[in-house]
Amino acid sequence: METILEIKNICKTYQSKEGEILALKDIHFKVKKGEFISIIGPSGCGKSTLLSIISGLEKKTEGEIYIENKKIEGISEQVGYMLQKDCLLEWRNIWSNSILGLELKGRLNEESKKYVESLLKKYNLYDFKDKYPSELSGGMRQRAALIRTLATKPKILLLDEAFSALDYQTRIMVTNDIYGILRKENMTAIIVTHDISEAISMADKVVVLTKRPGKVKDICKINFEMENRNPINVRESLKFSTYFNTLWKELGVDE
Ligand code: ADP
Ligand code: MG
């Protein structure tokens, strides 16, 4: 598989009233096309900072980001971002929410509208296109937010604690749903979470960061050797608890 994203020696220093805060130090890893990478690490270790740097919303202090071997400076069109809040606009119906990203980028045309329509149909939201976000369940809202992001055809999707606002049961179902869609669309994804089980359940690799300043402590390959793997059925695998224990220990060592 070819490398789609390379993160090379990223360092980030924030300026604050108390002086400089070193948030990230020498972050280095590669992501292959179609791969799902989970990032875990203690609170405040720089996970959100790293995603913001990859998307170009935040400036890096040192290092380089390459997407398909091209150095990225500033905001990247190829990167989509999903946050904890679905950020759907309550006064717009599902259709106008779904086309919002395209509208903002000035890319709304007959062809892109057809694409959004096909996504809504494929993922069972087309019948809800005239409804407002408040009329949808939490899970359907997240799916609508995902379709809005996919509509702009990003090459890499970043998810920052995207499911953590949902209650446990819903979270498992939504994770499964979103995972299925992303795999079907052959997306490459970077998933930031503080939940070790969630990280394992979705990832091909888990990147473990140290406490601040965040450095790469380990990259743990996840392979359940299962056909039709999904975030729910992997939890039944014996390997799941082995991975959990390994990562739990790695997170704990420098507490
Ligand atoms: P995480 O997502 O892993 O919890 P963050 O990336 O949000 O961590 O933050 C990493 C560190 O950088 C924290 O110590 C945080 O206080 C600090 N930080 C984040 N954003 C800013 C900012 N805009 N200005 C100053 N410090 C910041
Ligand atoms: Mg964060």
Ligand number nearest to the C-alpha of 59: 1
Ligand number nearest to the C-alpha of 12: 1
Within 13 A of 148's CA, how many CA atoms are on the CB side? 28
Relative to the CA of 209, which ligand 1 atom is closest? 3
Q: Distance from the CA of 65 to the center of ligand 1, in angstroms?
A: 20
Q: What percent of the chain has pLDDT over 70?
A: 99
Kindly report the protein residue whose alpha carbon is nearest to atom 10 of ligand 1.
46
Per-residue pLDDT tens for 29-41? 999 999 999 999 9
The CA distances from residue 224 to 48, 218, 241, in Å, are 28, 19, 12
Taking Cα atoms as reference points, which of 24, 4, 6 lies closest to residue 14? 24
Q: Distance from the CA of 160 to the center of ligand 2, in angstroms?
A: 7
Per-residue pLDDT tens for 109-152? 999 999 999 999 999 999 999 999 999 988 899 899 999 999 99
Kindly report the protein residue whose alpha carbon is nearest to atom 21 of ligand 1.
14
Helix (H, G, I), strand (E, B) or coil at 38: strand
Per-residue pLDDT tens for 163-221? 888 888 889 998 999 999 999 999 999 999 989 999 999 999 999 999 999 999 999 99
Kindly report the protein residue whose alpha carbon is nearest to atom 23 of ligand 1.
14
Ligand number nearest to the C-alpha of 43: 1
- Tell me 210's DSSP state: P
Give the span between the Cα atoms of 185 and 175, in whole angstroms: 15
**Residue of 13, 16, 49, 164 to mutate, ligand 1, most atoms within 8 A of C-beta:** 49
**What per-residue confidence (pLDDT) applies to 253?**
58
Query: Are 143 and 151 in contact, with CB atoms under 8 Å apart?
Result: no
Q: What percent of the chain has pLDDT over 90?
A: 82
How high does pLDDT run on average in the chain?
A: 93
SS3 content of the chain, % helix, strand, coil (to 5): 35, 25, 35
- Output the pTM of the full model: 0.93
Give the span between the Cα atoms of 120 and 133, in whole angstroms: 14
Cβ < 6 A, ligand 1 pocket: 14, 16, 21, 23, 41, 43-49, 212
